[in-house]
Chains A and B, each alone.
Chain A
């Protein structure tokens, strides 16, 4: 099945800094989403982005499907951005399951 690798595993930044989170996947995908897991465990949708670029406020994401990676950019970080960021992909084969990366744990210091 598809392998999903996220980097870096951990990131500690000062408030106001910018960050780039990466998601590499090993095969072609139909779907790719980025999530932020809040302290209570809920996965909050950030982007549904199987290809192209999207922006939402301080966050933006780019997926280069032909090169099998996606990037999540967070600008002007705030302490509320802390948490774990996951990327999840679904392959193109009928039996492909949804695969999550292991996440990037982001800690923003005040």
Chain B
């Protein structure tokens, strides 16, 4: 069965712009979580969604937001982009909240100029 799909894979934005990233989980998986990876901070948890509700949130400013749709697909949005938002954004899906294995997509690599 298909894995976790993230789009777009690469994108370049300028400071002040906003960006929306998309994640389609493995079929049947209902939980989607997002992570930011940077060389300085490593892999950091952004948020987790289950049944269209945000269940947990990491320590990121309000410029970072997300949502989940009824088909479990999720989007995350970063508004008013800053240079420091340049990162690899990874999405993972799992069967249910806080249960079992995480399966990751290939990531969306964002560069902010």
Asked if residues A31 and B100 are in contact (CB atoms below 8 Å), the reply is yes
**Given the complex of chains A and B, what is the CA–CA distance between A30 and B96 in angstroms?**
14
Say if the beta carbon of B68 comes within 8 Å of chain A.
Answer: no
| B63-113 CB contacts (< 8 Å) to partner A | 88, 90, 92, 98, 100-107, 109
Assess whether B100 is in contact with A48, with CB atoms less than 8 Å apart.
Answer: yes
Which residues of chain B are within 8 angstroms of A108 by Cβ–Cβ distance?
Answer: none
Q: Are A31 and B56 CB-contacts (below 8 A) given A40-B106, A42-B106, A98-B45?
A: no
Residue of B nearest to A98 (CB): B45
Could you tell me if A98 and B106 are in contact, using CB atoms closer than 8 angstroms? no
Given contacts A30-B98, A41-B109, A90-B98, contact A98 B33 (CB under 8 A): yes
Q: How many residues in B have their beta carbons less than 8 Å from beta carbons of A?
A: 23
Give bound CA distance, A31 to B48, whole Å. Answer: 15
Q: Is A100 an interface residue (CB 8 A)?
A: yes
Give Cα A109–Cα B98 distance, bound, in whole angstroms: 38
A100 touches B43 (CB 8 A): yes
Residue pairs across A and B with CB atoms within 8 Å: the count is 48
Asked if B61 is at the interface (CB within 8 A of a chain A CB), the reply is: no
Cα A59 to Cα B105 with chains together (Å) = 22
Q: Any chain B CB within 8 A of the CB of A99?
A: yes
Instruction: Give the total of A residues in contact with B, Cβ under 8 Å.
Output: 21
Flag whether B42 is at the interface (Cβ < 8 A). yes
How many angstroms from the CA of A31 to the CA of B43 in the assembled complex? Answer: 17
Q: Is the CB of A45 within 8 A of B58?
A: no
Q: How far is the CA of A99 from the CA of B42 in the complex (A)?
A: 10
Beta-carbon contacts under 8 Å, A64-110 to B: 86, 88, 90, 95, 97-100, 102-103
Residue positions of A touching B, CB distance < 8 A:
30-31, 33, 35, 40-45, 48, 86, 88, 90, 95, 97-100, 102-103
